[in-house]
A and B are shown apart, each in its own frame.
Chain A
């Protein structure tokens, strides 16, 4: 494997890790506030469809992004209504949201575009195009560092950089602001937050809304950045890989970045090589597909460090009277 191949694999790692990272941070906000969210997949899918559909109709990718975020926020609203207001089962609500998105996107796509549940392919102004960072062209001939800068760091769409910037932003919000402290507290001990006179319901809705926005960007990136248009079930389990990454990262932002890069790397390898020949034996491509899930089960089993979820996660809060 030569140097350029490595750069290319890492380059596609970054691209593939971006939607995972955004969805993973989305889940982080929600679960840190005590709302389990297995509906990341559905929210991404809905956002992917609406961003592609609106971008195809208006020709503006930014309007598409807004539409994607709006769709994702709408589903977040349902999740909040079910799990915060009516104190329903958060997991069941998540399952319902995944199916709702899977069905509705195809139904609406068929009704609007009549192309068998997909949107038309997006032309260049309907997509987030790669941005060349300054001097990328000029520096590309510099040995070693040149290709790293021009191929790997430069030349991604804006949403990739947004996702990377979201990591320190998330860390800062959660661990350096009053809002973040309260948000984490509401996931650990909502009664204490309530006693302090801060609204549990308000905080949890805020967390669910942030989750919706981030899932919306993730979905929009899938349909308008990574690919050119929406196809049926295009999230293909990414929401669940993001969930796995969240557990792998033990609900922490910087760990989330490394977990998503790792899982993105596995996807990039699986995409590039079918079966990996290690001399003595061959690693079939299916192992690469299953590895994120296997690793997560191992982490969950507590064999490699213990993943402790927020204590009040999944529990609806009932105010004492």
Chain B
């Protein structure tokens, strides 16, 4: 017998965790001498109060959808892919190679190939940790952490020594050509007569991210591979007994995960930066962990959690602009969300389970 109904597990537990994180964050704001109510108002106003704010919220959310899905797919195979950051960096490299060194007649073609290239680069970066985990038993968490640092060093080298245009001091590639620039939400919504801020960076990648959410849903719950991934995640020995190869599932799940993380680059590198810079990922790979935990590794949950974190990010930027609360407040909130929805999950769950059992006894 399940101790709790499914809805409580999927909705109640994350919401309580979020509330706990919110209460603690409010206490932090009070402790540094600011007014939490005013802060929340400012955040909502700045991120949801105008199409400009929405444009930034959705731009961040697009990043987090990709990285959140990446972590979620790995979670289904009971692996913790902490290397989304490095995989997204490599994805940026994939986008840059496609956009800089190939001529494109139209952005749509460029987008398709950039997406594929970003996914391939991200997946390639996840391959070695996955292979080592499957074949040699090296712990994937440690190897993916190491690969994040190696990715940063590699990108640093390439941007400083190889891809930097002559005469430029900036460790960044040249601007991508005009034909690879992606249409923003402003360009997309204008024909429908909807006015959307021109300055906001949200772009067509948002649609790709939503398609990715749907695709991951079908992959995990409607395909044989998804079933195998979930079976492996529930019980490795059980999966083995059913004839599922652990090596294959580990590697394939990580390739999909890395590919999704890499695909983030079409948003931040191709859509917003329009060139590859250092640290273009801005920690989005790590926020994917919080997003996947919050969204209970379900694509729809990831979608909602990504928008929530997009709101927090844009709201946090507004706070830093108008008050003396630094942007790092968001990092604290992110840490608390990871703590309560991930590590202290049982602390929230155990009392709830007891409560539900009590009610059930009352019914019987």
Contact = CB atoms under 8 A, between A and B. Distances in A.
Interface of A: 38, 78, 81-83, 86-93, 95-100, 102-104, 106-108, 110-111, 114, 117, 237, 240, 243-244, 247, 284, 286-287, 289-290, 293-294, 296-297, 300-302, 309
Interface residues of B, number: 50
A106 B326 contact: yes
B157 interface: yes
Given A88-B346, A99-B335, A300-B142, 13 more contacts: A78-B339, A88-B343, A88-B345, A92-B342, A95-B342, A96-B342, A99-B331, A107-B32, A108-B32, A243-B142, A286-B153, A296-B146, A297-B147
Given A81-B344, A95-B82, A107-B32, A100 B332 contact: yes
B48 interface: no
B133 to A, nearest CB: 10
Contacts of A104: 28, 328, 332
Query: Which applies to chain A's interface (DSSP): helix, strand, loop or mixed?
Result: helix
22 contacts: A82-B343, A82-B347, A86-B343, A86-B346, A88-B343, A96-B338, A99-B331, A99-B335, A100-B332, A100-B336, A100-B339, A103-B331, A103-B333, A103-B335, A106-B328, A107-B28, A293-B146, A293-B149, A296-B146, A297-B143, A297-B146, A300-B139
Nearest to B326: A110
B331 A102 contact: yes
B154 interface: yes
B355 to A, nearest CB: 17
A46 B279 CA distance: 23
Given A38-B141, A103-B331, A302-B136, A290 B154 contact: yes
B290 to A, nearest CB: 8
Query: Which applies to chain B's interface (DSSP): helix, strand, loop or mixed?
Result: helix
A103 B82 CA distance: 19
B163 interface: no
A92 B343 contact: yes
Contacts of A309: 139
From B132, B325, B342, name the one whose CB has the most chain A CB atoms within 10 angstroms.
Answer: B342
Contacts of B333: 103
B100 interface: no
A83 B33 contact: no
Interface in B172-190: none
B324 interface: yes
Contacts of A287: 153, 157
B293 interface: yes
B326 A302 contact: no
A67 to B, nearest CB: 17
B32 A111 contact: yes
B156 interface: yes
A187 to B, nearest CB: 15
A109 B332 CA distance: 14
